[in-house]
Structure 1
Amino acid sequence: MSGRIARRIRVFGRVQGVGFRPYVHRTATALGLDGWVSNVDGHVEVSVCGPAETVRALVAGIRAPVPPLAVVRHVVVGDEHGDRTPVGRGFTVRPSRARPCDGPREVPPDAAVCDACLRELFDPADRRYRYPFVNCADCGPRATLIEDLPYDRVRTTMRRFPLCPACAAEYADPADRRFHAEPLACPACGPHLTWSDLTGEKALRAAVAAVAAGGVIAVKGLGGFQLVCDATSAEAVSELRRRKHRPDKPFAVMVRDLATARRLAYIGRTERDVLTSPAHPVVLLRARGVHEPAGDRRRTRARAVRLAPQVQPGTRRAGLFLPTTALHHLLLRGLDRPLIVTSGNLAGEPIAVDDDEARRALGAVADGFLTHDRPIHARYDDSVVHVLGRRSLTLRRARGYAPAPLALPVPAPLSLAGAGAQLKHTFTLAEHDRAHIGTHTGDLASAATHEAFRASFADLSRLTGIRPRAVAHDLHPGYLSTQWARGLPVERRIAVQHHHAHVAAVAAEHALAEPFVGVAYDGLGAGDDGTLWGGEVLVADLAGYRRVGRFARAPLPGGEAAVRRPTRMALGYLHGLEALGAPRPAAWQARPFTDRLDARETETVCRMVERGVNCPRASSAGRLFDAVAGLLGLGDTVSYEGQAAVALESAAGGLRTGALPWRLTRTDGLWVYDPAPTLTALLEGVADDVAVGRLAAAFHSTVAEVTAALVERAVAAGAPRTVCLGGGCFQNRRLLTDVERLLRAQDLRVLTGHAVPVNDAGISYGQVAVASALLAREKER
């Protein structure tokens, strides 16, 4: 027994639901060690005894684990006392133990079905041949079925399905990849498909036939119902738009494999890696728009494929993703064509997760329901990312990513909640140096969405063990998230300015606790001076900021009505732009634009602006993009937030042009961009029949130059040389690329969001980053 040591090892991170206990068991057994491994609350504990060098080898293996879905964040090694580790009895997996949380708990995200399971799915000799719920320790549902921690089958929605002898044998076999795989199932003991009164393979065939005939079906996916139809059929896509009340917003398209994706879009190495990652997000890609070249056809030996034009109106990009579950693979094999796979909801409502709820909400949308008897515990929509060079930038952080935690550069002295914004809503729970961003909720406009947010918050709070003692919220009193925060039973409520939260989210993601310049461009947010902001340059750190630059203010005629009507926003700029010295466009210069509008509406809007009736003023970059889109005839009305800006970016395409005239002025101690010269030049271009694409490209170049000039003046006055770019306008790839290029030409360090969305979905993370820094500063005093 000499030379033997006994150690207790506690492992924190994404270590439950990812095959971590089987990995430790295999490693320890191979090393000839005695002991056990167990899930305890939200972490893993190991008790081990053996030669000192061999025990150290196990610890090293635990710090750098093999399981592909595991993330080890913290390992604590201590002495094991007494006879807790039996000697000479080998290494075992002990039953999980639930006890009060004494460390960080982490909920593993869902993962797409792995290659090993796919081989079984399509192997006629395998007992899981064509079984829609095949999974193993390396893939499958996690966050969507976990009801409590520690992670065991009895605390998931799979507890309703007792294992058959064959599955029980796999579950107990340390050499099997399904060893302690909690969602384990097979046709004999697991969930089954249904379609009306059909079950199993018959149900699947009926669903395939319905889509092939041009129908729209509702499919129960991992985190909620999805609406599915043929993406190559103009009639089917148009009918889905009509039924779903979604006239313009592009749909996501699921394709059978990477080869099909390449026939629809241009895919580089980074795009490929993101598409095939375990998260399988929707990736926005540059669409080919035409049939594949002959060379591609010869290489892939597949027919050309084209999406219906109704799939992605107004944009040059296609949102593609690969099948996430075995059921999706079966549908795509059966139909052999790209499929629209979009959220199973009506516009503005949360996605349906319960069968009865789905039939009520989607009964008028779907021609049939392909469902199953495995309950969905937590609602998760599909994640959306895009790629810029070698970087992937998250636009919606949901299935596959949420609710995995992110680091906070300043640890929170109190447990915190970030209430988020109103649009693209998320919430965040934070404790110590970890922040869990909840899944994408959507727009808090309806009672159903608000209730979905409240339920999701309560569930994640219970699972992570985080009971907030403080809440950070937006300044805007009308946001439902702010009103919710005011009713939360906490010790502290901390109001965080919207645009400070945007740039703080970027800084925090990059572990930046030092001062920086923040550029926040978005639609609207409440400023600290009682006005609406949206085109802001701040000198900030996580705890505070001062405003050093902005865009000129313009009225929003009719408030929300101006957001939905880019032409109305354009009239606001033409007739009510803040007077800064540069002459506004004259009436005769605006005539090519105003002549195509309804005369009565134009007169009404002008009167509203002149009298200041229901015309809140905003210094908004997003609303300026809307106005320019309206001036250029790229959409008089929009049906979703950001549509006009998407059309403007699409019109610019890859054209490279010089900037339009622009002007900065000094007002109230701030540098202010006066767009009057820019708008005049645009109107002159329209009158001279300059191509819309050329004018759109020139406007993008202008905003990039203006941004560089605003930052240059801030730095010249002593601001830091690190710049954080946040806000929904920086989802615009062209704007982001041009601004980064010009700022780096000034030898500045430029950061933007990657894992955290730059749009309002990142606000809640920024709020907790700010609140943590403020509370920490108070504690130091």
Structure 2
Amino acid sequence: MPRRSALRFEVFGTVQGVGFRPFVHRLATGLGLDGWAANTAGHVRGEIAGPPDAVREFTVRLRTGAPALARVRQVRVTSVRGRMPPPASGFGIRHSDPVRAGTGGGREIPPDAALCAACLGELLDPADRRFRYPFIACSDCGPRATVIVGLPYDRVRTTMRRFPLCAACAAEYGDPADRRFHAEALACPGCGPQLSWSAPGGTDALSGEEALGGEDGLNGEEALRAAVKTVESGGIVALKGLGGYQLVCDAFDQGSVAALRARKHRPAKPFAVMVQDIAWARKLARISETERAVLESATAPVVLLAARSSALAPAVAPGSGRVGVLLPTTGLHHLLIRELTRPPVVTSGNLADEPIATDDAAARRALAGVADGFLGHDRPIRARYDDSVVQTAGRRVLTIRRARGLAPASLPLPVAAPVPLAGAGAQLKHTFTLADGERAQLSPHGGDLADATTLDAFTHAYDDLVRLTGITPRAVAHDRHPGYLSTQWARTQPWPRIAVQHHHAHLAACAAEHGLRTPFTGVAYDGLGLGDDGTLWGGEVLVADLTGYRRVGRFATAPLPGGEAAVRHPWRMALGYLHGTEMLGSPRPYPWLTRCFNERLDPSEAAVVRSMVARGINAPRASSAGRLFDAVASVLGLADSVSYESEAAAALEEAAGTGHALPLAHRLVLVDGVWVYDPGPTLIDLLARQYDGERVPALAAAFHVTLAVVTAELVARAVAEGAPRTVCLAGGCFVNRRLLAETSRRLRAEGLRVLFARSVPVGDGGISYGQAAVAAARLAKG
């Protein structure tokens, strides 16, 4: 009898819901091996037996030949003791072991994947039995995180369990040669979810006119046609997407987009536009090869692109030279986009500052005054996922919002967490993180954590991810700010609590993504975060590692007149800087320099704010780069009031463009052993050049160049005094591509190694991951 060897294997990582068992089946049968594979706990296990050379080849290709959606972290191989799989018994896929299913931690949840090319071909093929079926999917694409009810990942533990397979689908599901072999989201028109349409009826909540949308009770193709008719008639449709409802209207119809803004209470923040294909995308924007690859990837995020002159409604992205573009992600999106004559706006189905609607009844209540009709279906949404948002910097892809397609794929922890733990996150752009051992799982973007409704959405998402991953925290890391709802939630938990300073968490997120265990120099620029001295920080240079930090550089402080009101009204911030910047030896601007700015303001309101600044009443001080951006934007007349947090800074970046500019005056001062940037000379020079007739774009560009020069000088002084030569850039200000590029270039010119986050959001969406990395390192250090 020919010699045989046998091995038991376990594969860890993102290996469930990504076609890994079918891959193992094809690999083993192709090599003539006997055995079996099964999902269990959070990984795949099995046994193989056969000729020794074939067994060795199997173990090599198990690591290197995995499906595109899989992420293999570790392969464990041990010899089989006892009875090995019999010769010529073949290779099979076993049902998941229910006894082992609830054990262990760190189970990885696969993100949703956009429709693959093979499924799209079938969707558009009149001869295929899934022709025009909106819920088409296979082992390589379709819903994952939004339908998983539990692990191991089998159909009975997804929301598809309510749709029993028909004979044809069951045959595909059981055929090892079929692309839908063990595809848990498998469905067809005969056995799967179905479209439905209904209209709110009555009169439009705003105009009083008869609501659009047609008849209630339509299904299938009739439902789709009703939605198309509504959009093309100037209406707004609430569409049930993968991770929540979306609002859809004609992106070329100014009236429709303006109505969406009014009803959604979102006056200025840009909307995304969905296009059929790259050819359509090129009509709207200039696209690099890197951007094209991201658009067409299985992640299918919204990609921020340089807009071309087009017929898009101005209200889509008011005042911006960029447009967010995404390709269709599901069969339903593909069908809708092909029926419409023009690309639509596709945005989250919620009112401003509220969670995205996922439940059908809740969606109808929340969106009754927004949508003219509802295009729904009968497959439940298990978890709330907004669209991911990315941008490129050269050939690098930078994550702005980590959600559908990206989350909750795991991230590395350079220092393994000795106990399971949670990072509670910040307040804005909220996420949370679960960590155990060497892996961390960052939740999808949850919006701003502002009230009881958003807190409830957070706690539900947290409970769900804890149950799915098997990570039951025994410690929690949180921000120092006592007013954050995330901090208040952390303080109710029965475990040890680890307070992590806001900007240290920003920098730790960058360092952890890049695997840094050694000290680094960190530049953290953002809006506001509570410092360890009780003041508000936001323009910081720290020497840090994952366990601690010391402050070696900062921006000068300025008052925030009215506190939160200064964030909403940048003209207040401008007065704070012009009249109350920390005294470091620079004079205040001469009145004739500020006359043009002051004449724009309401005299009585301005007098009150100046009094607040002079007397220090309700005017907390902050060393914030983000608030300095706001002040300069207001001085240049770009934004006196804003409706979302980074609106003024975005306007300043837009005005700056890419043109060459000479830096403004600037000054560094040593205060108590810390180098401090004094913005007084910068603002005086800005006002003087404005007075002399220099145009706003040149001044906006000059301000960006100045901050890059200042940053390079602050870091150079720190390095000269012994700071590490690896520099991490973090914080929401570095979403600004010009600031990131100018700063990186100058630091690299000094021979420094420069790192910034790519997979982790550079803004507050990455805070929870940084908190988890810090907590893990501190706990490991004891």
Q: Is this a same-fold pair by TM over 0.5?
A: yes
Distance in 2, Cα, partners of 1:686 & 1:542: 44
Q: What amino acid maps onto 1:393 in structure 2? A: L
Q: What amino acid maps onto 2:610 in structure 1? A: C
Residue 263 of structure 1 corresponds to 283
Deviation at 1:103, TM superposition (A): 5.6
Query: Under a length normalisation based on structure 1, what TM-score does the superposition of the two structures give?
Result: 0.97
Distance in 2, Cα, partners of 1:422 & 1:586: 39
Distance in 1, Cα, partners of 2:130 & 2:494: 49
The correspondence for 1:223, drawn from 239, 243, 247, is 243
Residue 507 of structure 2 corresponds to 503
Instruction: Spell out structure 1 runs of 4+ moving beyond 3 A.
Output: none
The correspondence for 1:551, drawn from 542, 551, 555, is 555
Instruction: Choose 388-397 or 769-778, whichever is displaced more.
Output: 769-778
**3-state DSSP class of the match of 2:491?**
helix
Deviation at 1:87, TM superposition (A): 3.1
Residue 730 of structure 1 corresponds to 734
Residue 674 of structure 1 corresponds to 678
Deviation at 1:41, TM superposition (A): 1.6
The correspondence for 1:566, drawn from 570, 576, 599, is 570
Distance in 2, Cα, partners of 1:38 & 1:375: 26
Matched, 1:528 2:548: no
Deviation at 1:689, TM superposition (A): 2.5
Map 1:275-286; keep pairs closer than 5 Å.
Answer: 275-286=295-306
Deviations 1:294-318 (A, max 9, x none): xxxxxxxxxxxx2111111122111
Residue 442 of structure 2 corresponds to 437
Deviations 1:7-42 (A, max 9, x none): 110001111111111111111111111111111121
Contact 2:11 2:76 survives alignment (8 Å)? yes
Distance in 2, Cα, partners of 1:111 & 1:44: 20
**3-state DSSP class of the match of 2:230?**
helix
Residue 538 of structure 1 corresponds to 542
Residue 375 of structure 2 corresponds to 370
Deviation at 1:702, TM superposition (A): 0.5
**3-state DSSP class of the match of 1:539?**
strand
Residue 223 of structure 2 corresponds to 203
Distance in 1, Cα, partners of 2:187 & 2:248: 25
Matched, 1:5 2:5: yes
Deviations 1:78-126 (A, max 9, x none): 1112225233211111111131423631100000000000000010111
Matched, 1:459 2:464: yes
**3-state DSSP class of the match of 2:106?**
coil
Deviation at 1:546, TM superposition (A): 0.2
Deviation at 1:586, TM superposition (A): 2.2
Q: What amino acid maps onto 2:364 in structure 1? A: R
**3-state DSSP class of the match of 1:558?**
coil
Distance in 2, Cα, partners of 1:582 & 1:518: 27
Residue 44 of structure 2 corresponds to 44
Q: What amino acid maps onto 2:710 in structure 1? A: V
Instruction: Choose 760-769 or 84-93, whichever is displaced more.
Output: 84-93
Matched, 1:95 2:95: yes
Deviation at 1:432, TM superposition (A): 0.4
Residue 274 of structure 1 corresponds to 294
Map 1:582-661; keep pairs closer than 5 Å.
Answer: 582-661=586-665
Distance in 2, Cα, partners of 1:42 & 1:500: 32
Contact 1:506 1:756 survives alignment (8 Å)? yes
**3-state DSSP class of the match of 1:248?**
coil
Contact 2:105 2:469 survives alignment (8 Å)? no
The correspondence for 2:107, drawn from 105, 108, 118, is 105
Matched, 1:717 2:737: no
Contact 2:66 2:72 survives alignment (8 Å)? no
Q: What amino acid maps onto 2:336 in structure 1? A: L
Map 1:92-241; keep pairs closer than 5 Å.
Answer: 92-98=92-98, 99=100, 100-102=102-104, 104-196=106-198, 197-241=217-261
Distance in 2, Cα, partners of 1:447 & 1:479: 12
Contact 1:407 1:433 survives alignment (8 Å)? yes
Distance in 1, Cα, partners of 2:5 & 2:439: 33
Distance in 2, Cα, partners of 1:390 & 1:146: 34
Matched, 1:82 2:86: no
Contact 1:256 1:336 survives alignment (8 Å)? no
Contact 1:407 1:434 survives alignment (8 Å)? yes
Q: What amino acid maps onto 1:353 in structure 2? A: T
Distance in 2, Cα, partners of 1:343 & 1:498: 28
Matched, 1:399 2:404: yes
Contact 1:417 1:428 survives alignment (8 Å)? yes
Deviations 1:620-654 (A, max 9, x none): 00000000000000011000010000000000111
Instruction: Choose 158-167 or 306-315, whichever is displaced more.
Output: 306-315
Deviation at 1:552, TM superposition (A): 0.4
Contact 2:105 2:436 survives alignment (8 Å)? no
Q: What amino acid maps onto 1:665 in structure 2? A: V
Q: What amino acid maps onto 2:86 in structure 1? A: P
Q: What amino acid maps onto 1:70 in structure 2? A: A
Deviations 1:578-619 (A, max 9, x none): 100011212222111001110001100001111111100000
Distance in 1, Cα, partners of 2:86 & 2:531: 64
**3-state DSSP class of the match of 1:189?**
coil
Deviations 1:239-292 (A, max 9, x none): 00000000000001111101111111111110011111100000001111x25x
**3-state DSSP class of the match of 2:132?**
coil
Q: What amino acid maps onto 2:88 in structure 1? A: G
Distance in 2, Cα, partners of 1:690 & 1:602: 26
**3-state DSSP class of the match of 1:463?**
helix
Contact 1:12 1:104 survives alignment (8 Å)? no
Residue 411 of structure 1 corresponds to 416
Deviations 1:447-499 (A, max 9, x none): 21111110111111111110001100000000000000011121x11000000
Residue 382 of structure 1 corresponds to 387
Distance in 2, Cα, partners of 1:109 & 1:548: 40
Distance in 1, Cα, partners of 2:749 & 2:121: 50
Residue 296 of structure 1 corresponds to none
Residue 584 of structure 2 corresponds to 580
Contact 1:516 1:719 survives alignment (8 Å)? yes
**3-state DSSP class of the match of 2:292?**
helix
Deviations 1:553-586 (A, max 9, x none): 0000000000000111000111111100011212
Distance in 1, Cα, partners of 2:89 & 2:544: 59
**3-state DSSP class of the match of 1:336?**
coil
Distance in 1, Cα, partners of 2:677 & 2:373: 54
**3-state DSSP class of the match of 1:658?**
coil
Residue 69 of structure 2 corresponds to 69
Distance in 1, Cα, partners of 2:276 & 2:190: 27
Distance in 1, Cα, partners of 2:751 & 2:316: 42
Q: What amino acid maps onto 2:239 in structure 1? A: V
Deviations 1:401-429 (A, max 9, x none): 10010001111111110000000000000
**3-state DSSP class of the match of 1:487?**
coil
Q: What amino acid maps onto 2:747 in structure 1? A: L
Matched, 1:320 2:322: no
Matched, 1:246 2:266: yes
Deviation at 1:336, TM superposition (A): 3.0
Map 1:683-722; keep pairs closer than 5 Å.
Answer: 683-722=687-726
Residue 427 of structure 1 corresponds to 432
The correspondence for 1:335, drawn from 328, 331, 340, is 340
Instruction: Choose 137-146 or 65-74, whichever is displaced more.
Output: 65-74
Matched, 1:53 2:53: yes
